[in-house]
Structure formats: structure tokens, C-alpha cells
Amino acid sequence: MCTDVMYDTDLMGVDSHGISMLPYYASEIAKGHIDPTAEPEVAHSFGAVVRVDGKRGFGHTGAHLAMTSAIEAAESFGVGIGVVGQTNHYGAAGYYARMAAEAGLMGISLCSTANALQVPHRAKGALMGTNPIAFAAPVPGEEPVLVDMSTTTVPLNKVKLYGLRGEDLPEEWAVDGDGAPIHDAQEIYSRLEYGKDGGVGLLPLGGQGFFTGGHKGSALATMVQILSAALPGAGQPGNVDGYQDIGYFFLAIDPAAFGAPTDAGEYVRELRDTIRGMEPLDAAEPVQATGDRDFLTRAERLENGVPLAEALVDQLRALSTELDSDFALVESV
């Protein structure tokens, strides 16, 4: 399951959450934060609601069980909700929303995240995580409409990718304790992921200013934190010594349950076609609906392979040696 999710994530162009996470997972196993043998289980169910105990295992398995349970509930009740506690990083939020779309349902996927990463609006230090939001709506015979985004201006693992490529952050994505922009991707990633010193943080969507909407990104992060952590009984945000209990929230919706006079899938198709057909600012760059870039990237990578930074390949090769495992990556010509 973990391999399937990571591979699919790389195909979709979300390089920050695919195979580049493998060294991190190995580190978390070594620290005792991830139990690689754990199997999640449904710890509580009530009508259309289930709570999954992740058993501190890989987040992908607990997330898959919770969304599968939500889908099954939606098929019976019209809606289904699955939450997960005692778990770890689950990869890309969009994967689980697309699970619902593949079953003909609308899906929402939210999660809290480990460590203090995001600076709340007007604060000097970080508290919240990157707290992503994903949504998918099915379109009969086509790829779904897909939203997959962090509530920070950039996810932490995108910072990691810039560091692997030896590049500085190009925008005002991260700040120090005085609110001044900083750009050294390697330093920022190291301090946020391993340093936990609170001296740096990622800005919320909208940045620092009120009139640029920074308070809105901070509000979205708070909403995600409450739904994904309060409901399963996971931990508060912030830096934690040792294991940090994060949580997930999944919602599956059967559009047919609402008895509307028109088909929701056809509504979504018409809306997306309208967006795509709008006059672009630049004739060389047609207007894309949300999710289009992800699926175009998927098609290109299925044909040509997934590009990996040389530094990441070196890390994976070293990890294979450390674990006495064959290094099976093959470079495409």
C-alpha cells in the first residue's frame, strides 16, 4: 500500500510526497516513531462514522482503511466519514480524495502534520503544520476535478526538494522569528524537520499581510487541525519530543443521495469545460481547471518516467546499502 501511494504520488507530479519521503520514513522507523509491522483497525463505528486506530504504523495504511470505510458508508447512507488517530505521515492528501472519485463519489481528505511548521497570522513563531486540503469530484468517463493543496504557501517537502537541487527558495515562503523572509532551502528544511527550534516557519496561504489574505490561510489551517485532530483525539499542534500523534479526516459524499433533478457529474463536467474554454491571458498557455496539471504530468511520466534529483538518488542508494537491500532504480534513456 505504501509503495502504491508513493509511486502514484510521483506520477502525479507531487515529488515532495513520493519516493523522496523514503529516507524520512526510514528515520522515523529508526527513532521508534513508526511501527512498520502495525496494522490499523477500526476502533469505533457509529452509523456513517468510523474512527481508525493507526497503531502508530505507516500513515498510508490507516488512511486507506479510513477512506475505504467512508466510501462504504456513503454507499449505504449517502455520506461517510472516517477519522484516524495514532498515526504518521500519509503522503499526498489528493490520493485519498481520488479514491472516493474513483468510486463515483465526491471526496475530501484533510490531515494535521507533525512539528511546528506554519506561522499563524501575526505570530512570531510557528505552531500549526502544513495542514493540507484535498477534494475530488468525479466526472463520468474522465479524470476527476482535483484540489490538492497545503494551507501554507508551500509544503515543507517542497522546501526539501529545493534543497536537494541545491536551490534557494524563490519567493517569500519562509520567515525567521522576526518575520523577515529567508531563502536557504537546506537550512530551512533542516531546522523545521529536525531542529524544532521555532526560529523559522512557513507562511500561511496569503503570506503575512491581512490584505493579501494571510489570515485566511491561517484560518483554513485551524479548520483542518480541528477536523483532523480533535475528532479522532489526536495531538495538539506544535513541536513535540518523541512521537507526535497526528490525525486525519476523510469525507465521502454520494451525489445521487441528494435527489437533485440534474446529474452532479455532468454539472462538474460542464463547469470544468467552461473554465478550460475561457480566453487565456496568454494564447500559448490555455486556461487549466484545477487538477489538469496533475493529470497531464501523470500522462507524461507514465510515458517517460519520473525525474529524480541526483542528491535524492544518492540518498536512496545510501539507504539501500544501509538496509542491505538491492538498489533497483533504473535510469530511462
Per-domain boundaries in the chain = 2-153+213-258
Q: Which residues of 99-124 are buried (b: 16+ CB within 10 A; e: fewer)?
A: bbbebbbbbbbbbbbbbbbbbbbeee
| Nearest alpha carbon to residue 139 among 308, 296, 309, 271 | 271
pLDDT at residue 270 in the model: 98
Q: What average pLDDT is seen over the chain?
A: 93
C-alpha cell at 204: 500561511
Residue at 26: amino acid letter? A
Q: How far is CA 212 from the centre of its chain?
A: 24
Fold of 2-153+213-258: Ribosomal Protein S8; Chain: A, domain 1 (3.30.1370)
Give me the mean pLDDT over the 72-80 stretch. 98
Q: Which residues contact 1 (CB under 8 A, 6 or more apart)?
A: 58, 60, 61, 64
Amino acid at 153: T
| pTM beyond 0.75, yes or no | yes
Q: Say how far apart CA 118 and CA 140 lie, in whole Å.
A: 37
Q: Decide if pLDDT at 333 tops 80.
A: no
pLDDT band for position 192 (50/70/90)?
A: confident
Asked whether the predicted pLDDT for residue 189 surpasses 80, the reply is yes
DSSP state, residue 193: I
Phi, psi of 105 (to 5 degrees): -115, 160
| Weakest-pLDDT range from 105-114, 167-176, 220-229 | 167-176
pLDDT at 155: 87
The pLDDT tens digits of the residues spanning 197-224 come to 768 999 999 998 888 889 999 999 999 9
Kindly report, residue by residue over 309-326, the tens digit of the pLDDT. 888 888 899 988 888 888
> What does the block give as the cell for 147?
484540489
For 121-136, what is each residue's pLDDT tens digit?
Answer: 999 999 999 999 999 9
Residue 310 pLDDT: 87
Residue 128's pLDDT is 94
Question: Which of 111, 46, 54 has its CA nearest to residue 87?
Answer: 54
Averaged pLDDT, 182-190: 91
